[in-house]
Amino acid sequence: MLACPALFISAPASGQGKTTITAALARHHRRMGRDVRVFKTGPDFLDPMILARASGAPVMSLDLWMVGERACRALLAQAAREADLILIEGVMGLFDGTPSSADLAATFNVPVAAVISAKAMAQTFGAVAFGLARFRPEVPFHGVFANRVGSARHAQMLEESLPRGMNWLGYLAGTDAIELPDRHLGLLQAAEIDDLDERLDRAADALAATALAQLPPAVAFDDDANEPPLPRSLEGMQIAIARDAAFSFIYPANVQLLEALGARVSYFSPLANEPVPDDASAVYLPGGYPELHAGALAANARSAASIRAHAGANRTIVAECGGMLYLLDSVTDTHGVTTPMLGLLPGNAAMQTRFTALGMQQIDGAHGTLTGHTFHYSRVSTPLVPIGHATRAQSDAPGEAVYRQGSIVATYMHGYWPSNPAFAAALFHGRAL
């Protein structure tokens, strides 16, 4: 068994400030000289960018369905071996989803600190805290923290509302100086927030004197036997990944898997008009926000020509969500403005003003099941006939379509490749499904 202080940051709902508080905690302990590992519950690309900046280390996903309990256990054990503190940020509310943050916290016995936004709330704060703490007694509960508090007197009222014996972890005042800006799909990307480090430092300063900032109790994590080494099934391949503000939805675990399978990974930026490296065996176009940068992408002829040449040479392209949109004939924004894209897949993507798909999905193929998720604000119209469909996690209902055009495989689903390394390797060899 491995012992490491650990804390699970959850809330009664989304929008309570979990990421701000988790990032502030990570920054505080990092400034204290501690090695901090932060995890994010569920599928997410945006929060981990903030948390990685705060902690100084990559942020991995934990999810009992997408990642799997065994893999989650191994990730936590590795963190316990290396770090002085483990922080896990939950997703949505503590009991939301199947599996939920509560399921994850209970499985690994990580105590929960509930962050509750106290804006426009007084004594009801205590009732919410009581419900979170007692709804499922098997979920370890550390205490409650108040966010967006109006005054010291307000904080006193909140603390006095708590049932006897509940741990008050302190509070943070509501201020725009530390709030993290957002837009559709979630928070702004870390690189887009010019004063992010200043915001994190201010939040860490404000947390420093609270009980929440104290080192939490140590948690025992199983030190599982070492996994057998993965086959070097991508040995000799160079995989070029598009990475910039338009293409940034990349799981660190996916990149680590490619390297563990033997691939050499490089990066290029279509936004900076960088070409695909000449010796790239395959290209990965991840999701992101191509719709926000459509004009620049359309104008960057050098990068576009290199991707077209790569496809023309029958070399593999794997595209997910925003990466798939970039391959289409065009993208139309919510104002009706249509911008030409690469034209490697026939069809148009039309942006919507609300989610068109959200949730866990999986793709079943010749190499088994690849888990992942989908979340997007666009709809694609294409004459292409799908070669298959994902299915939803909680039902057999059809999920996202999977398209193949020549050497291109494209889908809205974001795959979590470590869930099936053989599937991932086949994908980049152009023979998945």
Statement: residue 433 has pLDDT above 80: no
pLDDT for the residue 298:
97
What angle is formed at CA 11 by the lines to CA 131 and CA 93, rounded to 5 degrees?
Answer: 85
Which is catalytic among the residues 321, 324, 363, 401? 321
Q: What is the pLDDT of residues 337-394, one digit of tens each?
A: 999 999 999 999 999 999 888 999 999 999 999 999 999 999 999 999 999 999 998 8
Q: Which residue has the higher pLDDT, 214 or 185?
A: 214
* pLDDT value at 67 more than 90: yes
Q: Fold identical between 2-219 and 238-428?
A: yes
Q: What is the enclosing helix (H) or strand (E) of 331?
A: strand 328-332
CB-based contact 142:124 (threshold 8 Å): no
Mean pLDDT of the chain, nearest integer: 95
Output the pLDDT for position 432. 67
Instruction: Give the gyration radius of the chain's Cα atoms.
Output: 22
Higher per-residue confidence, 33 vs 430: 33
Give the separation between CA 26 and CA 226, rounded to whole angstroms.
28
Enter the tokens of residue 291.
Answer: 């719709």
CATH superfamily of 238-428: Class I glutamine amidotransferase (GATase) domain (3.40.50.880)
Residue 162 has pLDDT above 70, yes or no: yes
Whether the per-residue pLDDT at 260 is higher than 80: the answer is yes
Percent of the chain whose predicted confidence (pLDDT) is above 70: 99
For residue 228, the 8-state DSSP code is: P
Cα–Cα distance measured from residue 99 to residue 232, given in angstroms and rounded to the nearest whole number:
33
Summarised one tens digit per residue, pLDDT across range 121-144 is 999 999 999 999 999 999 999 999
In contact, 18 and 187? CB cutoff 8 Å = no
- Mean pLDDT for 26-51 is 96
Neighbours of 386 (CB within 10 A): 14
pLDDT at 180 (0 to 100)? 85
Buried b (16+ CB within 10 A) or exposed e, 102-122: bbbbbebebbbbbbbbbeebe
What confidence tier does 300 reach under pLDDT thresholds 50, 70, 90? very high
List the alpha helices (DSSP H) in 161-290.
196-207, 252-260
Going by C-alpha positions, the residue among 336, 247, 329, 319 that lies closest to residue 290 is: 247
DSSP structure class, residue 143: E
Q: What is the DSSP annotation of 336-361?
A: S-EEE---SEEEEEEE-SS-SEEEEE
Cα–Cα distance for residue pair 332/70, rounded to 1 Å: 42
- Report the pLDDT value the prediction gives residue 188, as an integer from 0 to 100: 81
Q: Note if 321 is an active site residue.
A: yes
d(CA 104, CA 42): 10
Q: Contact at 8 Å (CB) between 108 and 219?
A: yes
One-character DSSP codes across 300-318: -HHHHHHHHHHHHTT-EEE
- Tell me how far CA of residue 43 lies from CA of 236, 258, 361, 373, in angstroms: 30, 19, 11, 7
Tokens of 308: 């077209």
CB atoms < 10 A from the CB of 71, how many? 20
Gap between the Cα atoms of 73 and 186, Å rounded: 28
Mean pLDDT, range 303-318, rounded to an integer: 98
Could you report the per-residue pLDDT of 176-205, keeping only the tens digit for each? 888 888 877 777 887 888 888 899 999 999
Q: Quote the CA–CA distance of 419 and 424 in Å, as a whole number.
A: 9
Q: Is a pLDDT exceeding 70 seen at residue 225?
A: no
- Residue 48 has phi, psi (to 5 degrees) of -60, -30
CA distances from 87 to 140, 171, 213 (A): 15, 18, 12
Q: What is the spatial distance between Cα 49 and Cα 53, in angstroms, rounded to a whole number?
A: 6
The domain locations on the chain are 2-219, 238-428
Band of residue 407 on the pLDDT scale cut at 50, 70, 90:
very high
pLDDT at 318 over 90: yes
Distances (CA, A) of 340 to 22, 154, 292: 40, 54, 13
| Averaged pLDDT for residues 87-111 | 97
Residue 247 pLDDT exceeds 90:
yes
CB 240 within 8 A of CB 270: no
* Domain at 2-219: CATH code: 3.40.50.300
